[in-house]
Amino acid sequence: MIFARFRRLSLSLLTLVTLIGFTPVSLTAKTPRSAGASAAQTGEWKGFIAIDAADGKVLLEDNADLVTPPASMTKLMTFAVLHDKLRSGAISLGTPVKIIDADAKMGGTQVFLDPSETFPVEELIYAMMIQSANDAAHALARASAGSVEAFVELMNAKARELGMAHTTFRSPHGLPPASRRIADGDLTTPRDYAALCRYLLTKTDVLKYTSTKERDFGPNRPKGPQHMINHNKLLGRVEGVDGLKTGYTQGAGYCLSATALRNGHRVIVVIMGAFGPGGQIDKGVSRDRKTIDILERSFAALATAGGPAFTGATAPKPSPIFASPNTATGTPANTGDSLQTVKFTLPGK
């Protein structure tokens, strides 16, 4: 009987790995560590935290106050400042943004903006949140605040407003600084970023954008639209996940701010500085596996201890794709294969 139960559990774990498309490596495999050493010291991740979105209660944490780069998760604060601009009436979702050379030269992940193009604010927000487009983030920051420098000042003011005491922003996109020194770039902690995510989930419509799995950008471009696929591979694969944002640079490692809603409860997980075993560049596989584990354990804790129901916004139905005015030349990018849609929970949960 014991052998049969073990065999069933092994098959369940193998099925889990197959469903989410990860390579068949043990979910519990870890880099060897000395007695008493935390997982954050093994190089698999620098730190993480999980909180109840309803009241901010910490459910799980490990090295949650380590200061480290957020990479493209920076764009969540960019969205927060843009939301303030939209709410004040300074800009609207339909405000046209004329692209300039500085936007087009950002590099990294992008939608290949061209100085001959103009796009409405909302289309660029979708590009920033789905494609993680650095050029879109730069264009939005510049156009909404008059300059990127002025926008970054607003980002830091918002961080202070939210009590993010260990956070400093130096860009609207999260790319490494020209010096390549980590200390010169954007910096935060898992705890600070969980606070930002909770704010976004309770005070903004961020899920409208982060829950969108696929969307075309620039439908009127002469060479056709660029098909964007959300970088958050947990969307549609892990029960209840509808946001928020991934990030990666060599200095930051793989980062993810994730959230899921189940049975009226919402959990927020922020994991930063993740790599594969031995520091491998694994395209975020270890990060995603650990996030799934943290989500399952957090919901299990809520089921046992209870807690208030989440009363914030939920992900809306996808809005229709609309044409952008005055579009011009653009180059579609290869964004990868489409994702299989499945739902699951870990065995025994």
- Does residue 249 lie within any of the structural domains? yes
d(CA 302, CA 57): 10
Computed over every residue of the chain, the mean pLDDT equals: 83
pLDDT at 40 over 90: no
- Does residue 148 lie within any of the structural domains? yes
- Does residue 313 lie within any of the structural domains? no
| Alpha-carbon dihedral sign for residues 116, 176, 188, 20 | positive
- What spatial distance separates the first Cα and last Cα of the chain, rounded to whole Å? 21
- Does residue 133 lie within any of the structural domains? yes
Please say if 179 is a catalytic residue. Answer: no
pLDDT at 263 over 50: yes
Q: How confident is the model at residue 317 (pLDDT cuts 50, 70, 90)?
A: low
pLDDT at 15 over 50: no
Please say if 132 is a catalytic residue. Answer: yes
What is the pLDDT, as a whole number, of residue 241?
A: 97
| Contact yes or no for 303/197 (Cβ under 8 A) | no
What SS3 class is residue 136?
A: helix
DSSP single-letter state for residue 179: T
Q: Which of 46, 85, 132, 171 is catalytic?
A: 132
Write out the residue range of the structural domain in which residue 297 sits.
Answer: 41-305
- Does residue 121 lie within any of the structural domains? yes
Q: Which of 46, 75, 158, 208 is catalytic?
A: 75
Q: Which of 46, 72, 144, 286 is catalytic?
A: 72
Domain count, the chain: 1
- Does residue 208 lie within any of the structural domains? yes
d(CA 122, CA 129): 11
Mean pLDDT of 300-305: 92
DSSP single-letter state for residue 34: -
- Does residue 76 lie within any of the structural domains? yes
Q: How confident is the model at residue 262 (pLDDT cuts 50, 70, 90)?
A: very high
- Both structure tokens of 28: 């519990």
pLDDT at 10 over 90: no
What is the pLDDT, as a whole number, of residue 17?
A: 39
What is the pLDDT, as a whole number, of residue 103?
A: 98
- Does residue 26 lie within any of the structural domains? no
Q: Do the strands 241-249 and 253-262 form a parallel or antiparallel pair, or are they unpaired? A: antiparallel
- Residue 258's nearest CA partner among 81, 60, 14, 15 is 60
Residue type, 87: R
DSSP single-letter state for residue 184: G
Q: How confident is the model at residue 215 (pLDDT cuts 50, 70, 90)?
A: very high
Please report, for the domain that includes residue 86, its CATH number.
3.40.710.10
Mean pLDDT of 141-159: 98
d(CA 296, CA 300): 6
What is the pLDDT, as a whole number, of residue 314?
A: 78
| Contact yes or no for 247/188 (Cβ under 8 A) | no
Tens digits of per-residue pLDDT, 72-115? 999 999 999 999 999 999 999 999 999 999 999 999 999 999 99
Tens digits of per-residue pLDDT, 330-349? 333 333 333 333 343 433 33
Mean pLDDT of 140-166: 98
